[in-house]
């Protein structure tokens, strides 16, 4: 290090500033005499100056102290320090000019300083003091660049956030980062330098990594293109480069970013896609000033729906769920995030028709978003009666009451597992879809939305993998071939709102889920994103398919076709006609609950959903007997 680690004493800085000011005054006189002066002229000017020099030093000391220009850390000089120095030198020059006029008129007939000297001294004094500080800052920055660093770092993003990240890292004394450059998607910035650091284009990333032995990339862009970010992160992972990110500026501490806030990028950032563009006006016109009921409001999707709907100013938002503690947490969150929102928390079970009757008759909702359901495939495979009771009877209660109470729209949130189901859970959701679609003559518009797995939802694979990582592994994958579609919670909720507002009743909307992802690839990337190596630090264990589990998910059944809508990420399924006896069959299925005979319950489900073929399940015997 060329500079001491401890701060320079303030008195040294004051002496240095006064010395530089005197030097500036001396240079000003040299310029006044064109660097040439005879002995007589020098003696004459010195006789005048000697009477003023003590006042000059005294005034500088007082003004510099008042403006506290000695208080800033020299190695971290900023534009704010420059402004403070400039103000101080302007005030000094003004005082010298006023004193000069006073001396001229009331004392010995001389100015305090000649006008030309006063002007030149102002510029040189400012330049010397500011220049000295920035010179020390540059020496400091070069000294920390040259030290041996554990991490060779690239910053993704050469904008304001990237620059703040660079400065913050350089100020941090407890990090061993050596920043060798920026990468940016803007080709026009390529080849330029930002505070002495080269900017490279994203297309040169792999070459920069290899040539400079980069060990870490920090994503500093606040709103990056998700597709571009995904490519950058995957390239880094392929080259064993750790990827971290700067948090949103909203989470900066007191508006300032700390190097300690840099965190590892997570799998959600890697799987996210381009932002969804919504018809905000259409959604707002439908939901604003309306009474809206959300079932399953405490769950992952339900609470996401609540947060989205709250933005559109409903007259009242009813949050229905049987989970007391999550509802309590959601209530507290809404009170803080949406202080003007009129909402009501209702604890209730959709399986109780009496309770649901009271909810509809009391609140009289005009929109219902139905997210309440049992969703875990292995659990429902061994508890078919509960799947029927909640997913079928619960939905039937809500659908019947919505039709009877003049609800305008009923949006049911379904799943891709309802398509060609191989498990009880998926079949129960398909039966619920069929029942809702049977109300074609109702004034209520019944709309179904289908999508795949939601990132970060309760019980999904990513939180499971994260827990397993925290415990040291292994990460468990049921089959190397298994694939799934993924969507973030905000994306799913946004598309549900858009589909709900565009629907005229009777439709099943399916969402563009992007490309399916191999679960084993997901596990490997999560291990890499955690800074560990597969097989060395964390193992991946293949456990075998669980009862009812598919190798891959579908969004449409074989007999269904899709029609485009005005939204590129939403398609409308053209459904095959269901037989008239289906509603009667559904009622018979619900009646079977009383006997708790799982075989008979599943047998009836297969009658209602002929494409329901069990997989890796005890109920495969029912398919063999067909």
| C-alpha span between 306 and 343 (Å, rounded) | 10
- What is the structure's pLDDT at 142? 60
Exposure string (b/e) for 508-536, b if CB count within 10 Å is 16 or more? bbbbbbbeebbbbebbbbbbbbbeeebee
> What proportion of the chain, given as a percentage, has pLDDT over 70?
80
The DSSP string of 379-440 is: HHHS-HHHHIIIIIIIHHHHHHHHHHTT-SEEEEEEEGGGSS--SHHHHHHHHHHHHHHT-T
- What is the structure's pLDDT at 504? 83
More confident residue, 92 or 277: 92
Locate 28 and state its tokens: 């000003």
For the residues 363-367, what does the mean pLDDT come to? Answer: 95
More confident residue, 512 or 18: 18
Locate 54 and state its tokens: 């003590």
For the residues 247-270, what does the mean pLDDT come to? Answer: 61
- What is the structure's pLDDT at 40? 60
More confident residue, 595 or 148: 595
| C-alpha span between 286 and 584 (Å, rounded) | 34
Neighbouring residues of 83: CB distance < 8 A, sequence distance ≥ 6: none
Tell me how many helices (H) and strands (E) the chain has: 22, 22
- What is the structure's pLDDT at 146? 47
Task: Catalogue the active-site residues.
Answer: 417
The closest alpha carbon to 586, from 441, 398, 438, belongs to 438
For the residues 587-608, what does the mean pLDDT come to? Answer: 90
| C-alpha span between 403 and 31 (Å, rounded) | 94
Chain centroid, CA 133 distance in Å: 38
For the residues 597-604, what does the mean pLDDT come to? Answer: 92
Q: What share of the chain is helix, strand, coil (3-state, %, to 5)?
A: 50, 15, 35
To which H or E segment does residue 293 belong?
strand 291-295
To which H or E segment does residue 86 belong?
helix 79-106
CA pseudo-torsion sign 613, 614, 615, 621: negative
**Length of the chain counted residue by residue:** 626
The closest alpha carbon to 580, from 470, 370, 440, 477, belongs to 440
| C-alpha span between 422 and 616 (Å, rounded) | 9
Q: Could you tell me the domains of the chain?
A: 10-143 (no CATH), 148-265 (3.40.50.720), 280-620 (3.40.50.720)
With beta carbons less than 8 A apart as the criterion, state whether 417 and 427 touch.
Answer: no
pLDDT in tens, 388-425: 999 999 999 999 999 999 999 999 999 888 888 999 99
Residue in the block written with tokens 């000011």: 21
| C-alpha span between 303 and 296 (Å, rounded) | 8
pLDDT in tens, 54-83: 878 888 888 888 877 766 555 566 677 777
User: CA angle, 47 as apex, 30 and 59 as ends, to 5°?
Assistant: 75
Distances (CA, A) of 248 to 17, 185, 352, 616: 40, 19, 43, 45
With beta carbons less than 8 A apart as the criterion, state whether 506 and 444 touch.
Answer: no
Q: For residue 308, is pLDDT > 80?
A: yes
Judged by average pLDDT, the poorest of 23-27, 43-47, 301-305, 380-384 is 43-47
Phi/psi at 293 (5° precision): -110, 130
Judged by average pLDDT, the poorest of 94-103, 349-358, 461-470, 548-557 is 548-557
β-partners of residue 572 are 509, 563
Residue in the block written with tokens 């709900």: 500
Phi/psi at 415 (5° precision): -145, 155
Sheet holding 242-245, edge to edge: 193-194, 197-201, 177-184, 151-156, 216-219, 242-245, 263-264
More confident residue, 191 or 294: 294
Residue in the block written with tokens 């400039």: 86
β pairing state of 409-415 and 445-451: parallel
Please give the mean pLDDT across all residues of the chain.
81
Q: Where are the beta strands (DSSP E) in 112-184?
A: 151-156, 177-184
| C-alpha span between 225 and 223 (Å, rounded) | 7
Chain centroid, CA 368 distance in Å: 29
Residue in the block written with tokens 């827990």: 467
Confidence class of residue 159 from pLDDT cuts 50, 70 and 90?
A: confident
| C-alpha span between 270 and 65 (Å, rounded) | 53
- What is the structure's pLDDT at 13? 78
pLDDT in tens, 10-67: 777 788 888 888 888 888 777 777 655 566 656 666 666 666 778 788 888 888 888 7
Confidence class of residue 3 from pLDDT cuts 50, 70 and 90?
A: very low
Phi/psi at 65 (5° precision): -70, -40
Model confidence, pTM = 0.67
3-state SS, 499-556, equals HHHHCCCCCEEEECCCCCEEHHHHHHHHHHHCCCCECCCECEEECCCCCCCCCCCCCC
Instruction: Say which DSSP state 185 is in.
Output: S
| C-alpha span between 313 and 435 (Å, rounded) | 31
Neighbouring residues of 524: CB distance < 8 A, sequence distance ≥ 6: 534, 540
For the residues 353-357, what does the mean pLDDT come to? Answer: 96
Judged by average pLDDT, the poorest of 14-18, 186-190, 447-451 is 14-18
């Amino acid at each position: 290090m060329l500079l001491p680690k401890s701060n320079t004493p303030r008195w040294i800085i004051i002496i240095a500033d006064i010395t530089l000011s005197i030097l500036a005054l001396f240079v000003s006189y040299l310029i006044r005499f064109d660097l040439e002066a005879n002995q007589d002229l020098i003696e004459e000017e010195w006789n005048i100056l000697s009477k003023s020099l003590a006042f000059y030093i005294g005034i500088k000391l007082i003004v510099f102290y008042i403006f506290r220009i000695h208080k800033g850390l020299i190695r971290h000089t900023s534009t704010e320090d420059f402004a403070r120095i400039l103000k101080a030198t302007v005030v000094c020059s003004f005082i010298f000019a006023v004193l000069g006029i006073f001396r001229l008129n009331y004392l010995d007939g001389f100015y305090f300083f000649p006008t030309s000297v006063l002007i030149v001294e102002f510029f040189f004094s400012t330049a010397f003091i500011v220049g000295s500080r920035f010179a020390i800052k540059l020496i400091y920055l070069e000294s920390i660049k040259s030290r041996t660093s554990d991490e060779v770092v690239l910053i993704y993003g050469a904008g304001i956030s990237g620059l703040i990240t660079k400065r913050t890292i350089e100020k941090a004394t407890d990090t061993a980062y050596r920043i060798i450059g920026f990468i940016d998607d803007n080709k026009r910035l390529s080849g330029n330098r930002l505070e002495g650091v080269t900017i490279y284009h994203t297309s040169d990333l792999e070459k920069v990594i290899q040539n400079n032995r980069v060990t870490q990339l920090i994503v500093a862009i606040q709103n990056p293109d998700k597709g571009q970010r995904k490519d950058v992160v995957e390239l880094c992972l392929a080259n064993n480069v750790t990827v971290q990110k700067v948090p949103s500026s909203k989470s900066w501490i007191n508006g300032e970013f700390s190097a300690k806030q840099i965190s590892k990028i997570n799998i959600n950032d890697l799987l996210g896609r381009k932002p969804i563009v919504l018809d905000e006006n259409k959604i707002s016109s439908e939901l604003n000033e309306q009474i809206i009921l959300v079932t399953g409001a405490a769950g992952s999707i339900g609470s996401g729906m609540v947060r989205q709907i709250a933005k559109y100013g409903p007259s009242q938002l009813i949050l229905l769920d049987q989970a007391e503690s999550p509802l309590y947490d959601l209530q507290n969150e809404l009170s803080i995030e949406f202080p003007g929102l009129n909402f009501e928390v209702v604890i209730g079970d959709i399986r109780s028709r009496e309770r649901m009757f009271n909810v509809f008759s009391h609140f009289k909702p005009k929109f219902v978003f139905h997210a309440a359901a049992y969703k875990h495939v292995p659990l429902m495979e061994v508890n078919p009666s509960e799947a029927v009771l909640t997913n079928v009877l619960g939905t039937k209660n809500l659908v019947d009451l919505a039709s009877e109470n003049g609800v305008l729209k009923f949006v049911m949130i379904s799943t891709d597992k309802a398509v060609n189901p191989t498990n009880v859970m998926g079949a129960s959701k398909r039966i619920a879809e069929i029942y809702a679609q049977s109300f074609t003559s109702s004034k209520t518009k019944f709309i179904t939305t289908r999508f795949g797995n939601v990132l970060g939802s309760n019980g999904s694979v990513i939180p499971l993998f994260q827990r397993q990582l925290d415990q040291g592994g292994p990460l468990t994958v049921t089959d190397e071939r298994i694939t799934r579609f993924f969507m973030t919670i905000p994306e799913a909720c946004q598309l549900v709102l858009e589909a709900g507002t565009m629907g005229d009743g009777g439709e099943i909307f399916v969402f563009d889920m992007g490309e399916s992802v191999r679960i084993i690839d997901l596990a490997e990337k999560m291990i890499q994103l955690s800074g560990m190596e597969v097989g060395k630090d964390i193992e991946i264990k293949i456990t075998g398919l669980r009862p009812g589990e598919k190798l891959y998910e579908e969004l449409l059944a074989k007999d269904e076709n899709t029609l485009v809508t005005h939204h590129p990420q939403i398609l409308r399924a053209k459904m095959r006609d269901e037989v008239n006896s289906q509603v009667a069959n559904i009622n018979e299925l619900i009646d079977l609950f009383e006997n708790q005979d799982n075989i008979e319950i599943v047998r009836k489900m297969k009658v209602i959903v002929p494409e329901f073929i069990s997989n890796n399940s005890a109920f495969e015997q029912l398919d063999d007997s067909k």
